[in-house]
Amino acid sequence: MTLRLFNTLTGQLDPLTPADGRALRMYACGPTVYDFGHIGNFRTFLHIDVLRRFLHLSGIQVRHVMNITDVDDKIIRNAAAAGQPIGEYTAPFEEAFFEDLDALRVERPELIPRATDNVPQMVALIQRLEKQGAAYRTEDGSWYFRIAAFPAYGKLSKKDLSGMEDGARVDVDEYEKDSSRDFALWKAAKPGEASWETPLGRGRPGWHIECSAMAMEYLGESFDLHAGGEDLIFPHHENEIAQSETATGRPFARHWMHVRFLLVDGRKMAKSEGNFYTLRDLLLKGYRASAIRLALISVPYRHPINFTFESLTDATGAIDRLRTFRSRLTSGEFPEGQNPAVEAAALAAREAYRAALANDLNTADARAPVFELVRSANTAMDKGEFFAANRESVLQVLADFDRVFDVLEDRDLEATRRALAWAEKSGRMADVAPELKASASISDAEIDTLVAERVEAKKQRNFTRADQIRAQLAEKGIVIEDAKDGTRWKRK
RNA sequence: GCACCGGUGGCGAAGUGGUAACGCGCUGGUCUGCAAAACCAGUAUUCACGGGUUCAAUUCCCGUCCGGUGCUCCA
pLDDT of residue A397 exceeding 70: yes
Give per-residue burial for A162-188: e unless 16+ CB within 10 Å, then b: eeeeeeeeeeeeeeebebbbbbbbbbb
Collect all residues with Cβ–Cβ distance below 8 Å to A175 and sequence separation of at least 6: none
pLDDT of residue A455 exceeding 80: yes
Q: CA–C1' distance A300–B23 (Å)?
A: 14
Which pLDDT does position A160 carry in this prediction?
66
| Nucleotides in chain B with any atom closer than 7 Å to protein CB | 5-6, 11-15, 21-25, 32-40, 67-75
Q: In this predicted model, which residue has the larger pLDDT, A492 or A335? A: A335
Q: Does the CB of A326 sit below 7 A from strand B?
A: no
Which pLDDT does position A164 carry in this prediction?
46
Which pLDDT does position A162 carry in this prediction?
53
Residue A266 pLDDT grade (very low, low, confident, very high; cuts 50, 70, 90): confident
For A52-57, what is the mean pLDDT?
97
Q: Does the CB of A368 sit below 7 A from strand B?
A: yes
pLDDT of residue A169 exceeding 50: no
Domain range list for chain A = 4-259, 267-405, 414-491
For A49-53, what is the mean pLDDT?
97
> What's chain A's average pLDDT?
92
Residue A179 pLDDT grade (very low, low, confident, very high; cuts 50, 70, 90): confident
pLDDT of residue A158 exceeding 90: no
The mean-pLDDT minimum among A68-82, A164-178, A266-280 falls in A164-178
Q: CA–C1' distance A195–B50 (Å)?
A: 63
For A414-422, what is the mean pLDDT?
95
Q: Does the CB of A160 sit below 7 A from strand B?
A: no
For A375-398, what is the mean pLDDT?
96
Torsion of CA A308, A312, A317, A319, to 10 degrees: 140
Nearest to residue A39, comparing CAs of A217, A279, A216?
A279
Question: Which nt is closest to the CA of A490, judged by C1'?
Answer: B36
> Does ipTM surpass 0.90 in this model?
yes
Q: Does the CB of A31 sit below 7 A from strand B?
A: yes
pLDDT of residue A84 exceeding 80: yes
pLDDT of residue A165 exceeding 80: no
Q: Does the CB of A490 sit below 7 A from strand B?
A: no
3-state secondary structure chain A: CCCEEEECCCCEEEECCCCCCCEEEEEECCCECCCCCEHHHHHHHHHHHHHHHHHHHCCCEEEEEECEECCCHHHHHHHHHHCCCHHHHHHHHHHHHHHHHHHCCCCCCCECCEHHHCHHHHHHHHHHHHHCCCEEECCCCCEEECHHHCCCCCCCCCCCHHHCCCCCCCCHHHHCCCCCCCEEEEEECCCCCCCEEECCEEEEECHHHHHHHHHHHHHCCCEEEEEEEHHHHHHHHHHHHHHHHHHHCCCCEEEEEEECCEEECCEECCHHHCCCCEHHHHHHCCCCHHHHHHHHHHCCCCCCEEECHHHHHHHHHHHHHHHHHHHHHHHCCCCCCCCHHHHHHHHHHHHHHHHHHHECCCHHHHHHHHHHHHHHHHHHHHCCCCCHHHHHHHHHHHHHHHHHHCCCCCCHHHHHHHHHHHHHHCCCHHHCCHHHHHHHCCCHHHHHHHHHHHHHHHHCCCHHHHHHHHHHHHHCCEEEEEECCEEEEEEC
Architecture of domain A4-259: 3-Layer(aba) Sandwich (3.40)
Question: Which nt is closest to the CA of A482, judged by C1'?
Answer: B36
A267-405 has which fold? Isoleucyl-tRNA Synthetase; Domain 1 (1.10.730)
A window 259-318: Cβ near strand B (< 7 A): 259, 261-263, 266-269, 298-300, 303-306, 308, 310-311, 313-315, 317-318
Q: Which residues pair with A192 in a beta bridge?
A: none
CB atoms within 10 A of CB A384: 9
pLDDT of residue A385 exceeding 60: yes
Contact A104, A289 (CB under 8 A): yes
Tell me the per-residue pLDDT of A128-153, one tens digit each, with 9 for 90 and over: 999 999 999 999 999 999 999 999 99
Which residue is the nearest neighbor of B12, CA to C1'?
Answer: A311
Which pLDDT does position A176 carry in this prediction?
67
pLDDT of residue A452 exceeding 90: yes
Tell me the per-residue pLDDT of A308-323, one tens digit each, with 9 for 90 and over: 999 999 999 999 999 9
pLDDT of residue A351 exceeding 80: yes
Which pLDDT does position A166 carry in this prediction?
43
Q: Does the CB of A421 sit below 7 A from strand B?
A: no
Q: CA–C1' distance A161–B27 (Å)?
A: 59
Torsion of CA A282, A283, A286, A288, to 10 degrees: 100
Which pLDDT does position A171 carry in this prediction?
42
pLDDT of residue A392 exceeding 80: yes
Among residues of chain A, what percentage have pLDDT more than 90? 83
Contact A447, A478 (CB under 8 A): yes
pLDDT of residue A172 exceeding 60: no
Which pLDDT does position A280 carry in this prediction?
96
Which of A120-124, A158-162, A228-232 holds the top average pLDDT?
A: A120-124
Q: CA–C1' distance A258–B64 (Å)?
A: 32
Q: Does the CB of A94 sit below 7 A from strand B?
A: no
pLDDT of residue A167 exceeding 80: no
Which pLDDT does position A201 carry in this prediction?
95
Tell me the per-residue pLDDT of A209-259, one tens digit each, with 9 for 90 and over: 999 999 999 999 999 999 999 989 999 999 999 999 999 999 999 999 999
The Cα–Cα gap between A185 and A435 comes to: 51
Question: Which nt is closest to the CA of A42, judged by C1'?
Answer: B75
Q: Does the CB of A235 sit below 7 A from strand B?
A: yes
Which pLDDT does position A400 carry in this prediction?
98
Q: Does the CB of A379 sit below 7 A from strand B?
A: yes
